[in-house]
Chains A and B, each alone.
Chain A
Amino acid sequence: MTAQPPDRRARQEATEHEPVHRPWPSALIVAGMAVALAAAMAGIPREHAALPAIARYALAVALPKWGLTEPVNEVVYGTRGFDTFGETFLLLAAIISVVMITRPREPRRGYFGEETAAGREQSESDPAGPGDASEDAARSAERREQDERRPADQAAPRTADRTPLGSPAPETAEAMTIVVRTAIRVALPILAVAGLYLVAWGYSPGGGFPGGAVIMGVILLAYAGFGHRKISRVVRPGLLEAIEIAGAAAIIATEALGLALKGSFSANWLPLAAPQTILSGGIAQLFSASELIEVGTGLTIAVFALLAMEHDWSPDNQDESAGDPGDAGGTGDSAGDQDGSAGGPGDSGGTGDSGGTEGESGDTRDRSGDRSRQ
């Protein structure tokens, strides 16, 4: 924002100039907030204060009443189990919001690649594909460049691991290079075991929450390294969402059975095993394992729903951005007409990678149709 040294100028040109919105009133509010926070924090207990009563209670009951050597885990799933219960469903609500917001128009079986697989069918039933001449030229140039790089008689390998060593980079499959793939092959089982270990030994702090996050990391690592085809049998909405809801149902059952059997919500109704065994903690362990399912699948659903978000609602056309709603109907109609008239020849390529734009132009016409009906 201020003057940059001259050697930085080239980089500064590349970045977008961003105006600061109302700096002085904001600075005033922030200063007021800082004063309020500092005043509040000067008066709160410091490091020499005694532990609050609930903390001492948790430490006192963790071993005798729950058989847990880990008071944090006892607090999460025992003493404050109701709080964790509420947070679980806050998480579920957030996941459902993400799924609802990112949902495409049509039901899909997988997160990725279906529009690519259906590209040919789409182009047959909907010949008015992407119509821009310059876009077609760019596409065909790109295709020619790829063909030059690859021998004509040799198709792309089915998986990245079948690419012969020494072939020129970038490798043709959707995965990363062999260095990354090998590193992931080494790290992945270790991470998966570590994540499950956090949960299986119920005296580790937190159990399902960090375990679920680690499992999500494992899935993301596999996706990043090997491409979506490797994980598409596991990571698909139908399966993950069912597991997610099953985890939530297991948590409800775990907590509600305490009410039914012991007379209080989230009471322990399982026999206590010896401390530091895989079953120690009674329902804390069951709750933790259900939480692993809930958090692991929930975060995976959220991440993949975000990654697979498509252009869905708005035409991909700069000059009809919805600044003026009264006018946009007319321009939307004319854009749709242009697509219809110019789209014919552009479609002859019919390759997979034009699937996304075909979807967009379909949306363009849907949207303009909607608007003209209004």
Chain B
Amino acid sequence: MILANYLTSAAVFCVGLYAVLTRRNMIKMVMGLSLMEASTYLFMLSLAYRAGSTAPVLLDPPPGESMRALAHGNVADPVLQNFCLTAVVIGVAVTAVFLSVVVRIAQHYRTLDSGKVRELRG
């Protein structure tokens, strides 16, 4: 029942969203954003799953499968796996940008509380 995976990823996304909305500690906000990112990985890999399929490798088909069946689609979706693969690296880099901004804010304002960082407030 792959719908459970979908709903789990939605739940993880909502946990991340709740953390971003309710926390004022900026490290925890970054953690919430990372959770939202991770939920998309789970979602994409679940979306790639097909019942009774095998990995998209055109080599040594498992017993009972032929190469032709593999090439005609009895595998998990390789395109979504590709999305996940690149998204992981991009996610790491974007988290690094967030964290470096947070460290600079913390050095500048001496606080991690986003509620106290309000120099731009009119």
Binding site for B on A (CB under 8 A): 18-23, 25-27, 29-30, 33-34, 37-38, 41-42, 44-52, 54-56, 58-60, 62-63, 69-72, 74-76, 80, 83-84, 87, 90-91, 94-95, 97-98, 101-102, 203, 205-206, 209-210, 212-213, 276, 295, 298-299, 302-303, 305-306, 309, 311-314, 318, 321-323, 325
Contacts and interface: CB of A to CB of B under 8 A. Distances in A.
Given A20-B22, A47-B49, A309-B103, A314 B82 contact: no
A302 to B, nearest CB: 4
B6 A72 contact: no
Given A55-B79, A302-B96, 14 more contacts: A19-B24, A29-B17, A30-B18, A33-B13, A44-B47, A59-B78, A71-B58, A75-B82, A84-B86, A98-B96, A101-B100, A102-B104, A205-B81, A213-B92
B100 A306 contact: yes
Instruction: Tell me the dominant secondary structure on chain A's binding face.
Output: helix
Contact of A210 (B70, B85, B111, B116): B85
A185 to B, nearest CB: 27
Given A46-B3, A51-B50, A101-B101, A34 B14 contact: yes
B109 to A, nearest CB: 6
Contacts of A75: 78-79, 81-82
B119 A325 contact: yes
A46 B50 CA distance: 8
Contacts of A95: 93, 96
Interface residues of B, number: 57
Contact of A51 (B51, B77, B88): B77
A87 B90 contact: yes
Contacts of B14: 30, 33-34, 37
Contacts of B77: 51-52, 55
10 contacts: A19-B24, A51-B50, A59-B70, A76-B82, A299-B92, A302-B92, A306-B100, A321-B110, A321-B111, A322-B119
B13 A37 contact: yes
A33 to B, nearest CB: 6
Given A69-B58, A206-B85, A94 B107 contact: no
A102 B101 CA distance: 8
5 closest A-B pairs by CB: A94-B93, A26-B21, A37-B10, A41-B6, A71-B78
B75 A18 contact: no
Interface of B: 2-3, 6-7, 10-11, 13-14, 17-18, 21-25, 47, 49-51, 56-59, 70-73, 75, 77-82, 85-86, 88-90, 92-94, 96-97, 99-101, 103-104, 107-111, 115-116, 119
Given A18-B23, A41-B6, A97 B13 contact: no
B96 A41 contact: no
A323 B116 CA distance: 8
Contact of B107 (A25, A69, A209, A311): A311
A101 B97 contact: yes
Point out which of B56, B57, B58, B82 has the most chain A C-beta atoms below 10 A from its C-beta.
Answer: B82
B33 to A, nearest CB: 14
Given A51-B50, A98-B100, A323-B116, A80 B82 contact: yes
B108 A305 contact: no
Contact of B93 (A46, A74, A298): A298
A152 B110 CA distance: 40
B31 to A, nearest CB: 13
Contacts of A21: 21-24, 115
Contact of A72 (B24, B70, B82, B96): B82
A70 B82 CA distance: 11
A98 B99 CA distance: 9
B107 A312 contact: yes
A322 B72 contact: no
